[in-house]
Amino acid sequence: MHQPHGVITVRVTKEFGDSTVSKILDLVENASSKKSSQESFITKFARYYTPCVVAVAVLLVLIPTVFLSGNFHQWLSRALVFLVVSCPCALVISVPLSFFGGIGGASKKGILIKGGNYIEALSKIETVVFDKTGTLTKGVFNVQEINATNGSKEELLELAAFAECYSNHPIARSILKTYQKDIDKSAISEIEEIAGHGITIRYNGSKIAAGNAKLMEKLGIHFSSTDTVGTVIHVAKDNVYLGSIDIADELKKDAEEIVSLLKNAGVKKTVMLTGDSKKVAAYYAKLLSLDEYHAELLPADKVAFVEKMLNEKTVNKMLAFVGDGVNDAPVLARADVGIAMGGLGSDAAIEAADVVIMTDEPSKIGKAIQISKKTLKIANQNIYFALVVKLGVLLLGAFGFATMWEAVFADVGVTIIAILNSMRALHND
């Protein structure tokens, strides 16, 4: 079935409630509703634990006094000690507080985590998959060279600018920025965008084609290949090849250290998925020391690759995808952990993601994993510390070796110590 392609003019207005800032604020405010397994465990634990210890305390009074002729006041005192010690405050307060501290500490670093469950997921990441443009690179393209084969460079740039004038893609914007002249869009007709290839238009009666090598091959136009590492836009007029425009992106300043940071954080595999050519992908993959790369991919192809990697990953380990554009939203939603570059990223990407890097620094991903591991460590410390102390004093109290003073320490004292320990999650320097 033929799929129509063209250009439509749309005017969109939205209220503050639909803005990026509003959505991010909402995500932060509702982060506590998404609990980690530790938080869920403590909630369930307290639900059954409290009635059980009350029942044990009653039995601790009744059985010795009724069946063993024990001293009622003595066993009542032991039962009260047992009740005070068994109060689950230390667990119920300190464990969620650890995750709140982790989320707060991460936000101070410009990392927004949408819930405690994602802190837990971050700590288990085994594979990190990157989009390239706008994620590892700045997404700010500049024309490097205009290679005219037939005709002048001015004509080549003009035709490319008219072909790309309706597009908001960074590559199209770089061509328009270099052209720097007004464009009479009334002279353009028969606009057709060919996904993953390029665009064709009718301009002043001539058919103009601007796109990658696949577009030239599709139209049967003989063209000259180049050794340029960046993106190459080939231009043809009435099926006659005019030349090419070399366009290059620039790596983000901290991109080259991202792999070492991730490896230090325990990540086993790093992968890059991009719609760019294999030559460009190979160049950046080697420069960044990535383990694997796949090029010339459409958004659906990226989803397919992520699906495949999800099936191949280790059980109980996580896969994270890092992206920034509208096209990345399906992959961000499909990955175990979706990480969006929030500073320049699209609303769709930010909404689909589980973690948002507000500073657009990919190195913050390694920091997010470190924060998640520290937060989980603190939460587990609180759980083990509270349970060990309480169980110890409970046994001592049952046999009459612990007084109410020890019971108060096992309840209030342990709670205070656990809360102070939880506050360490706020500091991640």
The one-letter amino acid code at 302 reads: K
Q: Spot the catalytic one: 131, 276, 324, 336.
A: 131
Let me know if 238 is a catalytic residue.
Answer: no
Backbone φ and ψ of 337, nearest 5°: -135, 115
- Residue of 224, 236, 97, 218 lying closest to 156 (CA atoms): 236
Could you tell me where the beta strands, DSSP code E, fall in 217-317?
231-237, 240-248, 269-273, 292-294
Positive/negative CA dihedral, 57, 60, 63, 65: negative
Positive/negative CA dihedral, 181, 186, 187, 191: positive
> DSSP letter at 354?
S
DSSP H or E segment with residue 318: strand 318-323
> DSSP letter at 362?
T
Q: d(Cα 145, Cα 216) in Å, to the nearest integer? A: 19
Q: Say if residue 306 is exposed, middle or buried (CB neighbours under 10 Å; 0-12, 13-18, 19+).
A: buried
Cα dihedral 318, 319, 325, 327 in deg (nearest 10): -120
Long-range contacts of 160-169 (CB under 8 A, 24+ apart): 160/210, 160/233, 160/235, 160/245, 162/187, 162/188, 162/201, 162/203, 162/208, 163/199, 163/200, 163/201, 163/203, 163/208, 163/209, 163/210, 163/235, 164/199, 164/210, 166/7, 166/191, 167/193, 167/199
Burial 82-115 (b: 16+ CB within 10 A, else e): bbbbbbbbbbbbbbbbbbbbbbbbbeebbbbbbb
- Cβ atoms of 302 and 273 within 8 Å: the answer is yes
240-248 and 231-237 as β-strands: parallel, antiparallel, unpaired?
antiparallel
Give, in order, the Cα–Cα distances in Å from 114 to each of 22, 93, 104, 359, 364. Answer: 14, 20, 11, 16, 16
Q: Say if residue 265 is exposed, middle or buried (CB neighbours under 10 Å; 0-12, 13-18, 19+).
A: buried
Q: Give the residue numbers annotated as catalytic, written as ranges.
A: 131
